[in-house]
Amino acid sequence: MAGAFVATIGLGVGLGVWASTSGDGDGGNASAAGSGERGRAATGTASHSAAPAPTRTYPLSQAPRTIPAVRSHTPARGPGWKPAAGKRVVVGDARLADEGRLIAGELGLAYAGQASDERAGDLRLTLNAGQGAGPESYTMTVRGGRVTISGPSDAGVFYGTRTLKQEVHGGGTAPEGVVRDQPAKPKRGFMVDIARKYYTAGWIEDRVRELGDLKYNELGLHFSDDQGFRIASDTHPEIVSRQHLTKAQVKKIVQLAAARHITVVPEIDSPGHLGAVIAAHPDLQLRNAQGTATRGAIDISKDASAEIVDDLLDEYAGLFPGADWNLGGDEYQALVVSDPEASYPQLAAAARSAYGSGGTVADLTTGWLNDRAATVRAHHRTPRAWNDGFFRGTSVQPDKDIRVGYWTGKEIGARPPGEYLSAGCKVINYNDKYLYYVLGQPNDFFYPTGRLIYEQWTPRVLRGSTAVPARYDAQILGGSFAVWGDYPNAQTQDQVAAGIRMPLRATAQKLWDARPPTLTWTQFRALAGRLG
């Protein structure tokens, strides 16, 4: 430890001050020596002429460098805190046992459970219901050689442990002072298309751990599409692809995610993108007036189509206990032709039967979305759907509680985000200009590096690069970075993991705090490299 001894005389008392030039507060040996000398003076063992024992002052601490960055840090003078063998993690509430055991294992500490005594070096986790700024907020106090992390919920306390873990990464020190932190947005997600490209359970589990450390709270699994159906099914085993996840594997993923306060949001897309289901049930394939099959589209005029999709929604509700469910609803090919009623007379007839002489194919499709929403709502799930599943000018309106996943403004009859927001919809941002990682880079997509997300994107930038008015901010629940498998062999799963590493970190930063970041992109990337 670099330092200088400075002697001052005041009121007849000599004061020794060690002025540290170390920003991390290391140097506990000198401090311990000072304490020992003071102890001997108190018992009269030191000579009368001995110099007074040295004490230490420290520079004001610096805010921790973490991803995402903390919202507020009140600096203080002190040595900070480092984990060490023999130090304890204690909890003030049994509900924090999982968080306590996890951080204890990660930092090599002893988990002591509930304990009221205080020891040097303790890390204490506590609940303070009703005192936090929000349900995912936390306060972390580093003082006197101890750390206390408190929050109104176990989720907030968990996020505090993620901050601490990053602070002490690689032998660093948690700086003295108080962190007060909370996310800007309640939905902070990552979605992966496991239908078109198979990913191993281990790969997904690794992403869960990564997401947890970055304070994400959603993992979306798009597991049904034209190219594959990737989770085992008891009700319809005939539709499952050869490469798939077992239910036991999915349960393990869901449990791992829950331990990190991540909800798994499943998606069985319909009435389009159902090619894997249709392959086993060709009688449900949508065909036009000439009898030509429409790729990936199920015939929603047939009762059996609704029955098989509802069977699957009911079956997987037990596998995915989280609150939200993505119903898809995008790119139904019956609606991309110039005259859907003429091209698909069976759909037009079903629409008129259901909704009267003015019923349209778009009405029928909206009714399909509402019916599937009712199916998941019966399991106490909140439905969401892609924005191009909401159609302009229909007599049948989408149910008000269906959240809009806004990803594109390129579809036929594209509606700007303001139309959804002004109608009172709650929206989740999947902006395909910034937040899409599309394998093979088709249709002018490119692999994002994260820089544009970090420097340009905010949750209010729903379409293109223009932000919606600030008055809509509360309706934008958050956002999600998404990996799509259009050309599944374009990258291996390990290449995908490497490619999304910085975009995930940039997205995490902007969902936690949408304000302009204090670090430059170069500094942010270097920080990510140091944190691993």
Residue 12: φ, ψ to 5°: 75, 10
Whether the domain at 72-181 and the domain at 187-520 fall into the same CATH topology: no
CA distances from 56 to 34, 46, 67, 169, 185 (A): 8, 20, 31, 25, 42
Q: Per residue in 507-519, pLDDT tens? A: 999 999 999 999 9
Domain boundaries, the chain: 72-181, 187-520
What is the C-alpha radius of gyration for the chain, rounded to an integer number of angstroms? 28
Kindly give the pairing relationship between strand 177-181 and strand 218-224.
Answer: unpaired
Question: Which of the residues 238, 331, 411, 455 is marked catalytic?
Answer: 331
Cα-based torsion angle of the residue sequence 440, 446, 447, 450 in order, rounded to the nearest 10 degrees: -170
- Is the pLDDT at 484 greater than 70? The verdict is yes
Has residue 409 got a pLDDT over 60? yes
> pLDDT per residue over 51-71, tens digit each?
445 457 899 999 999 999 999
Structure confidence at residue 57 (pLDDT)? 86
User: How would residue 411 be classed by pLDDT, with cut points 50, 70 and 90?
Assistant: confident
- Cα(366)–Cα(360) distance, rounded to whole angstroms? 10
* pLDDT category of residue 23 using cuts at 50, 70 and 90: very low
Q: For residue range 300-327, list pLDDT tens digits in order.
A: 999 999 999 999 999 999 999 999 999 9
> What's the pLDDT tens digit per position in 176-225?
999 999 999 999 999 999 999 999 999 999 999 999 999 999 999 999 99
Instruction: State the average pLDDT over residues 252-265.
Output: 98
Quick check: 438 pLDDT over 80? yes
Res. 30 pLDDT band, cuts 50 70 90: very low
The yes-or-no verdict on residue 17 having pLDDT over 60 is no
**In the structure, what pLDDT confidence band is assigned to residue 12 with cuts at 50, 70 and 90?**
very low
Give pLDDT tens digits for 145-183: 999 999 999 999 999 999 999 999 988 999 999 999 999
**Helices vs. strands in the chain: H and E counts, helices first:** 15, 21
The model's confidence at residue 132, banded by pLDDT at 50, 70 and 90, is low
Average pLDDT, the chain: 90
Do 146 and 121 form a contact (C-beta atoms < 8 A)?
Answer: yes
Better-predicted residue by pLDDT, 85 or 375? 375
Q: Taking a C-beta distance cutoff of 8 angstroms, is the pair 143, 121 a contact? A: no
According to the model, what pLDDT value does residue 433 have? 97
- Count of residues for the chain? 532
Cβ pair 377, 367 in contact under 8 A: no
331 is catalytic: yes
Token duo for residue 256:
């791992």
Q: Which CATH class is domain 187-520?
A: alpha beta
Domain 72-181 grouped into CATH 3.30.379.10: yes
The span from the CA of 304 to the CA of 451, in Å, is 47
